[in-house]
Amino acid sequence: MTDLFESHELAAQRAKMKKRRRRLIYNNDGCDVFFTRLSCPDDFLSQRIVPALDTQVDSVFYCTLVTMLHSHDTQVAERFDDLIDATHAAHEHAINGRDNMRMLRAAGKDCLELVVERCHQAGLEVFWTHRINDIHDSMPSCEHLISQWKRDHPECLMGKPEDAQTRKMSEPRYWWSTLDFEKPAVLDSLCRITEEICQRYDVDGIEMDYFRMPMFFRPNLTNEGASADQIEILTAFQRRIRQAAYEQGTRRGRPILVAARVPMTIERCRHVGIDIEKWLDEDLFDILNTEGGYVPFTMPTRELVKLGHAHGVPVYPTISDSGMVPPHNTDAHWRAAAANIWHSGADGVYLFNTFPSTPGHPHFTQLGDPKKLARMSKVFVIDDVTVTEGDIRRGSVQPYRPIKLDTAGNACELVLPVGDDIADAAKAGSIENASLHIRFTGRGSEDAVSVRLNGALVEHVQDDGEWVVYRVDPSRYRHGDNTIEFRVTSCGDAVPESIAVASVELRVDYS
C-alpha cells in the first residue's frame, strides 16, 4: 500500500466537510450543454442549475460528458467540440454542444466553471462527477461520442463495434466500448483527467462513478466475478485518486472530498472488482453513493448504510428517472421510494436522471425532508425487473414481480418495504386509506388465491378479475419489510403455473 499523507489541519477540515447536510444530491449529467442552442452563459444556467437553487438540494454533482471526452476545457483529455470538428459529426446535439461550448469559451467560461461559481454563490456544495466507464458510445445512435482515444486504443476496449449489432442491450458483450481496467494506459488516463480537475477547478469534491458502467474486467462479460488480482487493481486505482485529492487539496489549502458511486451490496461490489470494505478500512473515500435507481422501491440499502456509518462515511442511495418506470412514476411513487431510503438510515437521497425543469419541482422540494414526507400520500410497490439476469447494473436480491404462483397450493412470498410508520399514523388518526392492491394475470373466475400480510389473512373488498383490492387493518403494516404470502386455494381450468402476481401496490393516503 502507498502511504497517503494529509496534514492534521486538512484532515480536520475534511472531516467537517464530510458531515455537512446533504438532503438531496442532484446529479446533473451535463446534457444542458447539448440539447438546445444557447446564446449566453445565463441561458445555460437557467436550464438545470437555477431551478435547483432554493430547493432541498444541498449538493450538485456535475458531469462533463463521458469518460475520455469532455465539455469542460480540458488540457489533458479531449474536448467534445474539437472531436465534432475532426469527425464532421452532423448529429443535432453534437452541433449544439460544439457551438455552445465555444459560446461559453468566448464569454471566458466553461460549463463546469459556471456551475461551480453559481452554486457556490447559492451556498451549495459542488462535485465534479466522472463516469469512469461510460458506455453510451457503444450504441450506434451515439457514435459521435466515441473519443479519439478509444479509436486509437482498441486494445484497451473489451469488445468491437460489431458486438452492438449481434447482441442485446441486456447482455454485457453488447457494450463493446467498455474499458479494460487491466490496461495501465486506461488507469493512467483516468487519473490524469481527475488530477487536472483538482488542479484547475474550485470544486468541493470529485466523484468516481463506478456504476456507469459497473464492468471493469473481462470475467464480467460472461457474468463471472472479478479475480483477487483484478480487485486489487481497482483498489490501487482508488488509492491513486485519493492521493491526487490529498496532494491538490494540500496545494490549495482546502480539502477535496472523494465520493464513490457503487453497486448496491457488498457482494455486487466485489463481483465487479470493488472491495468496498477494504476501501472503507483504508479511508479511500468520504461519501458513498449507491446503486443506479433501477430497483428504487426494493433495493437493499441497509447493508451499505450500516457499513458506511461504521466507518464514519455518509451514504446516499439513488432514485433515478430510469428506474421509476410508468405507471410507477407519479409523485406519490417518488415519495414512497424516498421514504424507504430515509427509513434505511441513509443520510440523504441521490437524484439521478431527473431534472428541475421548473422552480418548485416536487422531486426537489419534497424528497429531502423526511418529517414532512412522513404525512404525504405515497404508493409503495415491489419493483419489476424486465431485463435478463445478465444486466450487470441489477442484482436479484429477492424474487421480484412478476412471479408465477404454484397452482398445487404451495405458498409464494414477496417482501414489500414500507418506509412509513402506518400503524403509528393510524393511532394518530391521520390515515385516510392504506389499501393493498394486487394485479393477477392468468387467473380464471374459478381460481382463488389467499393473501396474508405478515402472517394475517387479509380480505378482499374489490375484485374485477385482474386487480384485487384488500382491506388491511393499518396496525398490521410494519415500518420496514412486510411479507406478503400468496397461496392458490382452488384452481379451475388454469394451466399449471399460469397464475402470476404481476403488480403489488400499497396506496397510502393521509387525511
Residue 382's nearest CA partner among 415, 420, 413 is 415
Are 154 and 183 contacting, i.e. CB atoms less than 8 angstroms apart?
Answer: no
Averaged pLDDT, 129-142: 94
Give the pLDDT confidence score for residue 41 in this predicted structure.
98
Give the pLDDT confidence score for residue 407 in this predicted structure.
85
Angle between helices 228-252 and 8-18 (to 10 degrees): 110
**Mean pLDDT for the chain?**
93
Q: Which of 347-356, 380-389, 435-444 has the lowest mean pLDDT?
A: 380-389
Give the pLDDT confidence score for residue 3 in this predicted structure.
63
Amino acid at 91: H
Output the CA torsion sign for 489, 411, 502, 318: positive
Domain 403-510: homologous superfamily in CATH:
Galactose-binding domain-like (2.60.120.260)
- Pairing type for strands 315-320 and 412-418 reads unpaired
Amino acid at 78: E
Give the pLDDT confidence score for residue 231 in this predicted structure.
98
Q: Can you name the residues that pair with 262 across neighbouring β-strands? A: 290
Q: Which residues contact 509 (CB under 8 A, 6 or more apart)?
A: 377, 431, 432, 433, 434
Averaged pLDDT, 264-271: 94
Residue 419's nearest CA partner among 483, 345, 358 is 345
What is the Cα–Cα distance from 316 to 281, expressed in whole angstroms? 19
Averaged pLDDT, 262-291: 96
Are 381 and 504 contacting, i.e. CB atoms less than 8 angstroms apart?
Answer: yes
Using pLDDT thresholds of 50, 70 and 90, give the confidence band for residue 103.
very high
Using pLDDT thresholds of 50, 70 and 90, give the confidence band for residue 396.
very low
Give the pLDDT confidence score for residue 495 in this predicted structure.
62
283 DSSP assignment: T
CATH architecture of 8-375: Alpha-Beta Barrel (3.20)
Pick 3 or 73 by higher pLDDT. 73
Residue 52's nearest CA partner among 131, 115, 109, 128 is 115
Decide if pLDDT at 399 tops 70. no
Give the pLDDT confidence score for residue 189 in this predicted structure.
98
Give the pLDDT confidence score for residue 107 in this predicted structure.
97
What is the Cα–Cα distance from 271 to 299, expressed in whole angstroms? 17
Taking CA atoms, 192 is separated from 185, 413, 475, in Å, by 11, 50, 57
DSSP string, 194-213: HHHHHHHS--SEEEEETTSS
Amino acid at 230: Q
Decide if pLDDT at 296 tops 60. yes
Taking CA atoms, 470 is separated from 151, 450, 480, in Å, by 58, 11, 20
Percent of all residues in the chain with a pLDDT value above 70, rounded to a whole number: 95
227 Cα distance to chain centroid? 25
In this chain, the answer to whether the domains covering 8-375 and 403-510 adopt an identical fold is no
- Pairing type for strands 456-457 and 448-453 reads antiparallel
Domain boundaries of the chain, sorted by first residue: 8-375, 403-510
Decide if pLDDT at 435 tops 70. yes
Are 57 and 63 contacting, i.e. CB atoms less than 8 angstroms apart?
Answer: no
Predicted confidence (pLDDT) per residue in 26-63, tens digit: 999 999 999 899 999 999 999 999 999 999 999 999 99
Predicted confidence (pLDDT) per residue in 146-204, tens digit: 999 999 999 999 999 999 999 998 899 999 999 999 999 999 999 999 999 999 999 99
Give the pLDDT confidence score for residue 389 in this predicted structure.
44
Decide if pLDDT at 471 tops 50. yes
Global pTM reads: 0.95
Amino acid at 469: V
First CA to last CA distance, the chain: 58
Give the pLDDT confidence score for residue 388 in this predicted structure.
40
Predicted confidence (pLDDT) per residue in 362-387, tens digit: 999 999 999 999 999 999 999 876 54
Decide if pLDDT at 463 tops 80. yes
